[in-house]
Chain A
């Protein structure tokens, strides 16, 4: 899923030409509709529509297939348990809902530049401007997304280092270096933001 954070590609498709606000609203409404619909036929229909929407954005094939394969495994595991319980219709409904929401989320991600998301988050955060400048909240959102793959990489490296020392069964040998390096990355990123002057614009006015 980590590779999916950079799947936006500029294209000329209906979803690419829609505003970020519309796409977020579409995602929200569709997710609620999918969850509230308990009819497996309707759920499969919604999932099919979402998959078609995803395909219409022509995202990078390999990253999308890998991401959706991961989602399909989660959906299969969830519905497998329900099938084992004898709830066949519910199993179909649940897995279709998971696939529908994930596919639509991917369609939004692959058709929306982060800058538009940043603008949208900043706009939505305007009511909080007395607490934090909207630009800061938008920036925090972008940084959070950026930090996910880095944190995952740090965890992987810590796991490899622990294995090299014969400590693969020790959670402490993995978690402590991961935590300290993640904090280090966050500090470095903060300094870099400051150095680029981006933090100056987003800084609270009181400072």
Chain B
């Protein structure tokens, strides 16, 4: 369960509001977040992992405050970025997953075995010793997911995880994410994917403007964006 309690985010230097006071309780297993570029949806997602902290109000994940218990929150919440390249640190696939396990498994052989299991489970067992630079974009995103799953988070926040992928990988990664036994919060521009959630939140200009049924949310968002496009895109 994730609880936003009047959480406000402003730009660090200018104090310009990025996310207005937001109060939400997220308990569904599959939640999608949609909104235009710069609307504040990634900020909302980052609040869950403690990557962004509210200037007022609070965010709690399973009873842990992201401000006070950031490290513990990050053990529960895995965060998947749009571009997996920045998320992968070690030279080969298995070494990258092993890095995630350093704090939980002290024995190196056990750590390597666990990393290999995580890679095999996700279909990258054959690529364990391959350089991350030699993997395709889709394989890199799978590797980033394997790195998250290796530490068994209960929540995954995915920030546009399929935006950079081709159609084949988009379908594969999307289906994989939806099949995971975790609570999934997906920020996306893919309205088909958003509509498959149990609940959809629409963010516009730093505020939640719709929260509820995915089909209605997508319909409302389309109307909002097409209406704005008809008035021109200069804002």
A residues neighboring B (CB under 8 Å): 2-3, 5-10, 113-115, 139, 142-143, 145-146, 149-150, 185, 188-189, 191-198, 200-201
Contacts and interface: CB of A to CB of B under 8 A. Distances in A.
Given A114-B95, A146-B88, A198-B100, A191 B51 contact: yes
Nearest to A190: B86
B89 A143 contact: yes
A197 B147 CA distance: 11
Interface residues of B, number: 34
Contacts of B70: 200
Contacts of A185: 85-86
Contacts of B51: 191, 194-195
A192 B91 CA distance: 16
Contacts, number: 94
Contacts of A200: 70-71, 74
Contacts of A146: 88-91
14 contacts: A5-B131, A8-B95, A8-B129, A142-B99, A143-B89, A146-B90, A189-B86, A195-B78, A195-B87, A196-B87, A196-B100, A196-B147, A200-B70, A200-B74
Contacts of B148: 196
B98 A6 contact: no
Interface of B: 49, 51, 70-71, 74-75, 78-79, 81, 83, 85-92, 95, 98-100, 102-103, 108, 129-134, 147-148, 151
A143 to B, nearest CB: 6
A200 B103 CA distance: 10
B83 to A, nearest CB: 7
A6 B70 CA distance: 33
A192 B103 contact: no
B131 A10 contact: no
Ranked 7 nearest A-B pairs via Cβ: A6-B131, A188-B86, A195-B79, A197-B74, A200-B71, A6-B91, A192-B87
Contacts of A139: 89
Contacts of A193: 89
